[in-house]
Amino acid sequence: MKDFAFHRPTTIKEAIALMHGRADGKFLAGGQSLLPVLKLELAEPSGLVSLAHIKELHDIRVDGHNVAIGALATHDQVHRSHDVHKAIPALAMLAGGIGDAQVRNRGTLGGSVAHADPAADYPAAVLGLGATIVTDRRKVAADDFFTGLFTTALAADELVTAVHFPVAKRAAYAKFAHRASKYALVGVFIAETAHGIRVAVTGAGPKVFRLTAYETALGKKLAAASLDGIAVPHADFNSDAEASAEYRAHLIGVMAKRAIQALA
């Protein structure tokens, strides 16, 4: 690991100023994704800007028909939040199933969303609920945010400050987890929203995606049997020692039916 400058700003404005003009700088949230990358020297930033002391990034609140969660809220805080449990139980449940206790106590919502790991859990909730990602300069709809493998619509010096999750009529998440990491080999988030059914899949492909064939079928009848006979194309799916592309396609159907049965 090479030397780098380390900064501890106390405001969002200060954090952005420190990153301005630093093309190879990095924001540091919980560090659960960035620190392993640094250890492997897959990234060599000239400076790290720690967000730990920016108080407003830790807030969780219900704002009308939205649950607004600050980017530095940890997975454990989201899981244990009374407001989240009451408004979107599926989101609280999802957060409680991320990694292990150590990861949940350090990892953050903003870090996970910005990192955009193709097997992470939060992107499924963000896309499945039709959330809005709030940054230091704009608001980005979930459908426009995740652009590819570990890539998003964020600019290099743009900071995720919060995610606003619309309260769904009903929602549920089901995943088939990796035996060690607990990342999703396949995870399916289904939400009955004010604008219809949304189905988001993580773990199967190079990025989280919506499965429109399932959305159409469930829009006619929200029942597990509605998905029978719907083939899931798997040409671009991941295939590894844990699961082939074909098996991941099969798992999508299984996890989707489990999510439907768990809708609450």
DSSP one-letter code for 74: B
Separation CA 198–CA 63 (nearest Å): 22
Residue extents of the structural domains in the chain: 170-262
Alpha-helix runs per DSSP H in the chain: 12-19, 34-39, 75-80, 82-87, 89-96, 101-106, 109-115, 122-129, 142-145, 212-220, 245-262
Whole-prediction pTM: 0.94
Residue of 225, 215, 227 whose CA lies nearest to 253: 227
Residues 6+ apart with CB under 8 A from 240: none
What does the pLDDT profile of the chain (264 residues) look like in tens digits?
678 889 999 999 999 999 886 768 889 999 888 888 788 787 788 889 999 999 999 999 998 899 999 999 999 999 999 999 999 999 999 999 999 999 999 999 999 999 999 999 999 999 999 999 999 999 999 999 999 999 999 998 999 999 999 999 999 999 999 999 999 999 999 999 999 999 999 999 999 999 999 999 999 999 999 999 999 999 999 999 999 999 999 999 999 999 999 997
Q: Could you confirm whether domain 170-262 is CATH 3.30.390.50?
A: yes
Separation CA 133–CA 164 (nearest Å): 6
